[in-house]
Amino acid sequence: MITIETNDELQTMLLSAYEYLNTPISERQKVARPGPGEKWYRDINVNGIGKRCPTCNVKMRKKQFKNDPNAVTREHIVPLNLGGNNKVNGAFPNCVAMCHGCNQARNKVVNMFNKTLNQKMGAVKFLIEQVYCKGVKLVEKYVKAFRRYLGYQKSKKPRMPNPIGHISFSKPPVVEKKTIVDSSQYDLTLYSSVRDLRHSFDQVWKNEDAVHVSQLHPSVRDRWFPVKPGMGRVQYRSKKKVKDWMDLYLSGKIGQLTFLNRFHST
């Protein structure tokens, strides 16, 4: 039976994490996570398909649905933010293939036990022993945290898309063509016209979209499109700012005269 205490490589993994965590945060040299362009990193997933997960022994597969618990993923035995590296060779690589469920459950253990150095080192020791020290009695609190979250992950069922698409027995909604609205076509002295323009805003613009200064009457530009020193007049404002006055008028919170003076006149 392999243990950390009797194996030099595993001792080195644990010691590296201890030295990393004992170093002031400003002086730590964290190893960068490989990007998707790294072939050797992609190959971990490819080569792991059809093999057994090193922690739960499930046969790993290519991802079949979102958060597929048995899908093959890449796992760092010692996380990079705890002093791990990207080693993939040798008897005890730090970067291996592991099922999505176990990967997420191990992350949960790290997140739960991260308050003190002792907690973090205990979690690192658990992560190493769980994969490379089969038969060793693991610390119960880490095991319970891992199993609890793993059970949640493994219970996830596939949600396959409907092969014939969305089924609806109601009349399909009419899709209106979205075109930029020319506000000058609306007689804003009429309540119904203001209501129609307000509706058009929702059809054309999202709240994050901008309305150009030219799309509003000059009488409101000083208020909504102010001149900033050295920058000239603000050219754009959010749609939300513009529609707020219509909402105030339509809800009766301001009168027609105030609305026309502040928003638009024809």
What is the tens place of the pLDDT at every residue in 106-165? 999 999 999 999 999 999 999 999 999 999 999 999 999 999 999 888 887 766 555 555
Q: Are residues 223 and 131 in the same domain?
A: no
Is the pLDDT at 266 greater than 50? The verdict is: no
Residue written as token pair 């933010």 = 81
Of the residues 102, 136, 154, which one is the last residue of a structural domain?
154
Instruction: Kindly state the percentage of the chain with pLDDT values over 70.
Output: 75
Q: Are residues 203 and 131 in the same domain?
A: no
Q: Are residues 147 and 218 in the same domain?
A: no
CA–CA distance from 45 to each of 17, 36, 109, 126, 145 (Å)? Answer: 25, 11, 23, 23, 26
- Inter-residue contact 243 to 198 (CB < 8 Å): yes
What is the number of domains present in the chain?
A: 2
Query: Residue 265's pLDDT band (boundaries 50, 70, 90)?
Result: very low
Q: Are residues 126 and 256 in the same domain?
A: no
- What is the extent of the structural domain holding 220? 183-262
Instruction: Kindly state the percentage of the chain with pLDDT values over 90.
Output: 45
pLDDT recorded at residue 59: 95
Half-sphere exposure of 157 (CA within 13 A, CB side): 3
pLDDT recorded at residue 179: 47
Q: Are residues 122 and 192 in the same domain?
A: no
What secondary structure does DSSP assign to 238-257, as a single string? Answer: EHHHHHHHHHHHHTTSS-HH
Q: Are residues 149 and 204 in the same domain?
A: no
pLDDT recorded at residue 94: 95
What is the tens place of the pLDDT at every residue in 212-263? 777 666 655 666 677 777 767 777 776 776 677 778 878 888 877 777 666 4
What is the tens place of the pLDDT at every residue in 85-107? 999 999 999 999 999 999 999 99
Q: Are residues 140 and 69 in the same domain?
A: yes
Q: Are residues 134 and 206 in the same domain?
A: no
